[in-house]
A = this chain, B = another copy of it.
Amino acid sequence: MIQAVDRAVRILMVLQGARRMSLGEIAAELELAPSTVHGIIRTLLGHGMVAQERDSGRYRLGPATLRLGNVYLHTLELRSRVVGWAEDLAKRTGCAVRAGVLLQGDVVVVHHEPRPDGGRQMPEVGIVIPAHACALGKVLLAGGSDELGSRPLRSMTGDTVTDPAKLRAELEVIRRTGIATEVEEAVIGECGIAAPLVDASGEVPGALGLVVPASRWPLDAAATEAVRTAARSISQELGAPSWPPAVREWPAASA
């Protein structure tokens, strides 16, 4: 892993946590000399990846990041395949629809279809949710080969599953049923249900699901079936050999 590049990305990640930071704050956060950070930041500055406030001298993320993210979205085959089905799902169920991918233990929302009846809703594309706390995330963890990232399971609400053993058991069930649920584990008053999207290689690169108000939980069978149907259809379009995805072979526990 190349040191300078790694540090550059770390700077972006730190900047993404706090809106605006002084050079010293960034250096302290990363335990680096300020001049080291300065050199890297100047390079990022030249490409618009970070911006500097003219008056205070502080640093923020730059517009080039927005451009990158936008291109990522438009080159994501998964997303383009999801859009049509998501619209249909939203109409059919009356719920908001989300699709997401895994990013190091978190789910990044790559598509969001607002509730049909709802008025102005925040566009949620790009937001990040801890994987263990949402239905989309559980599906992705269940389908991913990367044994859940061994980092502590942060509690979001009182109902968040924080026990790795309990989560592992839940993932096992999801692998069999092909459906994950979540009841107020990420946000109070919000539940979720999700199903895996499978690609040609049998991997699970994404998940599709509904955001359900707690007042409408549990969800009726028709809506659940609609999610399953949509996920299966999208997976077929992606060339999936089977759905739900074949259960991944575990290296024998005795190893």
Measured CB to CB, the residues of A under 8 A from B are 1-6, 8-9, 12-13, 16, 19-20, 39-40, 42-44, 46-49, 54-55, 60-73, 75, 101-104, 108, 110, 123, 125-128, 200-201, 203
Given A54-B203, A60-B75, A71-B16, A126 and B66 contact (CB-CB distance below 8 Å):
yes
Which partner residue on chain B sits nearest A9 by CB separation?
Answer: B47
Closest Cβ of chain B to A113, distance in Å, is: 11
Partner of A68 from B2, B61, B102 at Cβ < 8 Å = B61
CA distance A39 to B9 in the complex (A): 14
Option from B5, B68, B71 in Cβ contact (under 8 Å) with A40: B5
Q: Which residues of B contact A39 (CB under 8 A)?
A: 2
B126 near A43 with CB under 8 A, answer no
Q: B43 contacts A9, CB within 8 Å?
A: yes
Instruction: List B contacts of A54 (CB < 8 A).
Output: 201, 203
Neighbouring B residues of A16 by C-beta, 8 Å:
67-68, 71
Complex: A61 Cα to B60 Cα, angstroms: 22
- Could you say which residues of chain B place their CB within 8 Å of the CB of A44? 5, 9
Which residues of B sit under 8 angstroms from A103, Cβ to Cβ?
48, 62-64, 67
CB contact under 8 A between A2 and B63, given known A70-B127, A104-B48: no
Closest to A65 in B: B68
* Cα distance, A101 to B13, chains bound together (Å): 22
Q: Known contacts A2-B40, A48-B103, A75-B60; is A70 also within 8 Å of B126 by CB?
A: yes
Given contacts A61-B68, A61-B75, 10 further A-B contacts (CB under 8 A): A1-B42, A1-B43, A4-B5, A19-B75, A48-B103, A48-B104, A61-B71, A65-B72, A69-B72, A70-B127
Whether A55 touches B2, Cβ cut-off 8 Å, given contacts A64-B103, A128-B67, is no
